[in-house]
A and B are shown apart, each in its own frame.
Chain A
Amino acid sequence: MTVVNFILGIQYIFLLYFLALYTTYFGLDLISLLVLPRYMHSRVMSDLPQSGSGFDLPISICVSAYNEEATIVASVRSLLQLSYSEFELVIANDGSKDQTLEVLKREFKLVHFPEAYRSRLPSTPLRGIYVSTIYPNLRVIDKENGGRSDSLNATINVARYPLICVIDADSVLQRDSLQRIVQPFLDDPRTIACGGSIRIANGCKVVGGFVEQVGLSTNLLVLFQVVEYLRAFLFGRLGWSPLNGLLLISGAFGLFHKESVISVGGYDKNTIGEDMDLTMRLHRMAIKRGTPYRISFVPDAVLWTEVPETFKVLRSQRIRWQHGLGECISLNRSLFFKRGSGAAGWVAMPFNLVLEWLGPLLEVGGYLFMVVTYLLGLLSFSSFVIFLLFAIGLGTLLSICAVLEEEFAFHTYPRTKHILILFGVAILENFGYRQLNAFWRLEGLFRWMVGKKPGWGQMTRTATWAGAPSEVKKGGT
């Protein structure tokens, strides 16, 4: 076999990858298109004013804060205003080097409290626990720095309620999000975890800790991410949810059955993709026990978060995500094709391994392959263009479907101009952005293979929407 024949032979690998990827994506899209209308219709009753039955499930909101002095007060105030019948707020100050604890003490009149701390999950030593004399449902843990997973474990240790809601300190929760995300737990007692939608706050107007006016950023990089997030949440998560194949409840916003989280050992502080790892371990635990369980997703429980605005930060985020994916798949490999694992073990895990984790290798390889075959004269220019348009067309179609679902169900973006911009971005992202992303992910894949851990990078948050100074630099905890 000549080199040319070999090159031509591997075309089938790329073809298979391409077909499998888009078949799965369109399959998930179809599922979410079927599920979404029914969900939206059934929502009509919960939109009516209702008084609590006294049987609602109380929730402990767990937040890890590291160097958040600029935004923490606004975040806590908005969380305290959430519309839900019974909840407590547990904030962990993860050894911040700034004045995070001091501003919390001052603003919420915190006093030291001798809580009989239960160390059910591992975390770094505690320096103290504080309670607010103004808000009885607010407690703050001061602890030595141990990272986000470590401090979330500490908050879970002191959480009093059966459900824990994990959210990012620098994000904005929609006022009714708790009411919405708890619904699967009320409707189906088998539910052990549930995720909500993450939307992008860049470009939005935030007043009093809540998004008052939804808008789009003028930064093209942010706009690409808006479309990406729509795809990821509206048909990624929504498509896997009815199959019980959801492998990721985002660490930015998720609701968990506390005892289930504790029984799997909480967050693993040594893992980069700690949220995905936790979700996978929850699957494994429930399958091992043979108990029926559900891991769900609620599309209209929304958390607004700020995304990277520079290539540098975005690159480090994507490398980290890809590294985390590899780590999670490797750590939870026993989930593959496990008896009784259903869609999680038989479809979602192989999908994540072959199409998501190895995907960048095949994607970048595919681009190179096309160029090489074209240069070798094995592919005519017209064929080259046709295949390129084919790939771009399918990618665009997927993004447009996500925009369609958004418009059908939520109408989040108020102006027609916004929709047209998203359409334009859905097309434009195929010319450079997707390829760049594939390269970054490939870098993450290689880093995992050689065992080199990526850093958190330095996320530069403008945070103007949270009433903070113009720029807040924040390293990962």
Chain B
Amino acid sequence: MDFSFGSDPGTLRIVGFVTAFDFALTLLLLVLVLLMRCALLRRRRRRTRLLTVWQPILVKAVENPTSDVPRLARRDLPEFLLLWNHLHESLLDESKNNLNQIANALSIGSSALRMLHRRNLRRRLVAIATLGQLGERAAWDELLSITERGKARVSLAAARALVMIDAPKAVPQLIPLLLTRTDWPPSRVAAMLQVAGAEAISSPIADAAIKSAREEKLDGKPKAGVNIPARMVRYLELAYNESALPASRTIARLSSDPEVLAACLRLLESAEDLPIIRENIGHEDWRVRVQAASALGRIGEDEDEQRLVPLLSDTEWWVRYRGAQALSRLPSIDQARLKTIQAGQADPFARDILTQVMAEVELR
């Protein structure tokens, strides 16, 4: 009995105390949840009121610019900014100016600048987006600083805001960051570059891509496990062909990295690129062979048939598939010719993939 903590008065006192505390905490949490629910309902009611007043004004302003707007309560600002940004993101350029006119009448710019210093991540992100939509030049230095030092999500939001404020000025400052910010996800960078527009990014991104490929050739290993040159070449897809194509040709000759080479081949689309594509059709890395086959599917000539047929027996399914697709797209190839090629194949994989592609052609 002596070592039974269940009968020890001291232990029982502690357990009893913890239990009482536990139930008190549970009650407290219940009150907290109910208070949160009340706050939520209040917020929803306020939001409904805000929408009732402001949604018609903003929607009307899209058609007819106006600065004659009611006063905006300070505590409604975050919700208003969400509504305003939401509408902004759904509009084309001309109508955006009308929304900005309303924001200027409400001095939203200075409020958003103040919100940039808030600890609340949500408010900071909304403030950054607002400053971008407004084209608020007074925020430039601060946004640039966030872009350089902030965590991935905030810094990319700031970069996007910068290109919205002044794309030609922002792009040269942002492109070098693309080479160092390995934490920036390519899909979000691409979205940001799209906002900047092909006009602003084409030349700088092409130069940066070539530079990164040269550096990779000298250094020989990727930064932090990220293949920056390959990423840069992918971004070239967003640039004008007149910049992207020469850059990808140069990089394709410079780089021996299969990932970079594959990314370059994705872009090539003129007859003058045929030699480099044909050169890589038998590359040891299947990712390169796939892209070479796809490229021949875009710009290949009849004489490429003999290069593509061996791909039908490739060890990689995707190479066989793209090879068969490319064959079906050659200028003078029709179903009858595909059937003849199929009949000449000893490899069942080659025959199967041709059957599939012929069925796809028929379905189209």
> Once bound together, how far apart are the Cα atoms of A51 and B32, in whole Å?
39
Interface residues of A in 36-54 (CB under 8 A from B): 38, 40-42, 44-45, 48-51, 53-54
- Answer whether residue A338 sits at the interface, using C-beta atoms and an 8 A cutoff: no
- Answer whether residue B69 sits at the interface, using C-beta atoms and an 8 A cutoff: no
Interface string of A406-418 (1 = CB under 8 A from B): 0110010000100
A132 vs chain B, min Cβ distance (A): 10
Which of B37, B129, B363 counts the most chain A CB atoms within 10 A?
A: B37
Contact B15 A387 (CB under 8 A): yes
Contact A397 B22 (CB under 8 A): yes
With CB as the reference atom, state the residue of chain B lying closest to A9.
B3
7 A–B contacts from the bound complex (CB under 8 Å): A11-B6, A44-B125, A113-B359, A118-B317, A378-B1, A396-B26, A411-B40
Interface residues of B in 115-147 (CB under 8 A from A): 120-122, 125-126, 129
- Answer whether residue B16 sits at the interface, using C-beta atoms and an 8 A cutoff: yes
Since A45-B157, A379-B7 are in contact, a sample of 20 more A-B pairs with Cβ atoms closer than 8 Å, ordered by chain A residue number, is: A4-B1, A9-B3, A40-B122, A50-B89, A113-B359, A113-B363, A116-B317, A116-B321, A186-B185, A186-B187, A188-B185, A382-B12, A387-B6, A393-B18, A393-B22, A397-B22, A397-B26, A400-B30, A411-B40, A419-B37
> Once bound together, how far apart are the Cα atoms of A151 and B64, in whole Å?
58
Contact A53 B187 (CB under 8 A): yes
A49-B89, A50-B191, A131-B363 known; A383+B7 contact, CB < 8 A:
yes
Interface residues of B in 183-240 (CB under 8 A from A): 185-188, 190-191, 194, 225-226, 234, 237-238
- Answer whether residue A189 sits at the interface, using C-beta atoms and an 8 A cutoff: yes
- Answer whether residue A55 sits at the interface, using C-beta atoms and an 8 A cutoff: yes
- Answer whether residue A15 sits at the interface, using C-beta atoms and an 8 A cutoff: yes
- Return chain A residues, CB-CB under 8 Å to B152: 187
- Answer whether residue B353 sits at the interface, using C-beta atoms and an 8 A cutoff: yes
Chain B, interface size category, equals 35 or more
Interface string of B44-68 (1 = CB under 8 A from A): 0000000000000000000000000
> Once bound together, how far apart are the Cα atoms of A114 and B356, in whole Å?
5
Looking at the complex, which one of A5, A42, A57, A416 makes contact with B34 (CB distance below 8 Å)? A416
- Answer whether residue A56 sits at the interface, using C-beta atoms and an 8 A cutoff: yes
> Once bound together, how far apart are the Cα atoms of A15 and B22, in whole Å?
17
A344 vs chain B, min Cβ distance (A): 20
> Once bound together, how far apart are the Cα atoms of A389 and B12, in whole Å?
12
- Answer whether residue A365 sits at the interface, using C-beta atoms and an 8 A cutoff: no
- Return chain A residues, CB-CB under 8 Å to B29: 397, 400-401, 404
> Once bound together, how far apart are the Cα atoms of A435 and B237, in whole Å?
60
- Answer whether residue B352 sits at the interface, using C-beta atoms and an 8 A cutoff: yes
- Answer whether residue B4 sits at the interface, using C-beta atoms and an 8 A cutoff: yes
- Return chain A residues, CB-CB under 8 Å to B352: 114, 116
> Which residues of B are in contact with A by a Cβ distance under 8 Å?
1, 3-7, 12, 15-16, 18-19, 22-23, 25-26, 29-30, 32-34, 36-37, 40-41, 82, 85-86, 89-90, 120-122, 125-126, 129, 152-153, 157, 185-188, 190-191, 194, 225-226, 234, 237-238, 317, 320-321, 349, 352-353, 355-356, 359, 363
Contact A378 B22 (CB under 8 A): no
Contact A397 B121 (CB under 8 A): no
- Answer whether residue A331 sits at the interface, using C-beta atoms and an 8 A cutoff: no
Please count how many residues in chain A sit with their CB below 8 Å of the partner chain's CB atoms.
58
With CB as the reference atom, state the residue of chain A lying closest to B87.
A49
With CB as the reference atom, state the residue of chain B lying closest to A129.
B356
- Return chain B residues, CB-CB under 8 Å to A382: 12
Contact A379 B4 (CB under 8 A): yes
A8-B1, A397-B25 known; A48+B7 contact, CB < 8 A:
no
Contact A133 B363 (CB under 8 A): yes
A383-B12, A394-B22 known; A41+B125 contact, CB < 8 A:
yes
- Return chain A residues, CB-CB under 8 Å to B82: 44
The 4 A-B pairs at the shortest CB distance, nearest first, are namely: A393-B22, A41-B122, A41-B121, A116-B352
- Return chain A residues, CB-CB under 8 Å to B363: 111, 113, 131, 133
A45-B157, A397-B26, A403-B33 known; A390+B6 contact, CB < 8 A:
no
> Once bound together, how far apart are the Cα atoms of A419 and B152, in whole Å?
36
Looking at the complex, which one of A53, A189, A380, A386 makes contact with B19 (CB distance below 8 Å)? A386
Contact B4 A55 (CB under 8 A): no
- Answer whether residue A423 sits at the interface, using C-beta atoms and an 8 A cutoff: yes
Contact A55 B234 (CB under 8 A): yes
Interface residues of A in 155-196 (CB under 8 A from B): 186-189
Contact A48 B129 (CB under 8 A): yes
- Answer whether residue A78 sits at the interface, using C-beta atoms and an 8 A cutoff: no
- Return chain A residues, CB-CB under 8 Å to B7: 378-380, 383
With CB as the reference atom, state the residue of chain A lying closest to B5.
A11
Contact B19 A389 (CB under 8 A): yes
With CB as the reference atom, state the residue of chain B lying closest to A379.
B6
Interface residues of A in 1-30 (CB under 8 A from B): 4-5, 8-9, 11, 15
Interface residues of A in 363-395 (CB under 8 A from B): 373, 378-380, 382-383, 386-387, 389-390, 393-394
